[in-house]
């Protein structure tokens, strides 16, 4: 997954960009969990584990889909 696609998902989920300096990461905040988390950007391909961790911090639980 590209970081730009992940950022679109975060925006659609209501997450807010809190900080972006001249680094390779942006700091986002999730209204669902109330937590802040780093997102590497810009990056073409994010590792699957990184995407899972970010979605977990965002408040997404894939197990809820199968209940």
Domain of 36: which CATH number? Answer: 3.30.920.30
Residue 16 lies in a domain: yes
d(CA 57, CA 35): 7
Residue 19 near residue 2, CB atoms below 8 Å:
no
| pLDDT tens by residue, 28-61 | 999 988 999 989 887 778 888 888 888 888 887 6
Residue 20 lies in a domain: yes
Residue 22 lies in a domain: yes
Give the residue numbers spanning the domain of 17: 3-59
Residue 65 lies in a domain: no
Residue 49 lies in a domain: yes
The pLDDT value recorded for residue 63 is 59
The pLDDT value recorded for residue 65 is 44
Buried b (16+ CB within 10 A) or exposed e, 37-54: bbbebebeebeeebbeeb
Read off the pLDDT band of 67 (50, 70, 90). very low
Q: Which residues pair with 38 in a beta bridge?
A: 27
The pLDDT value recorded for residue 23 is 77
Domain count, the chain: 1
pTM: 0.74
Q: Is 63 helix (H, G, I), strand (E, B) or coil?
A: helix
d(CA 28, CA 20): 9
């Amino acid at each position: 997954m590209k970081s730009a696609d992940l950022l679109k998902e975060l925006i659609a989920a209501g997450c807010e960009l809190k900080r972006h300096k001249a680094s390779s990461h942006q700091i986002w905040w999730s209204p669902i969990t109330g937590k802040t988390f780093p997102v590497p950007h810009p990056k073409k391909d994010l590792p699957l584990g990184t995407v899972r961790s970010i979605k977990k911090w965002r408040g997404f639980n894939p197990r809820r889909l199968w209940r």
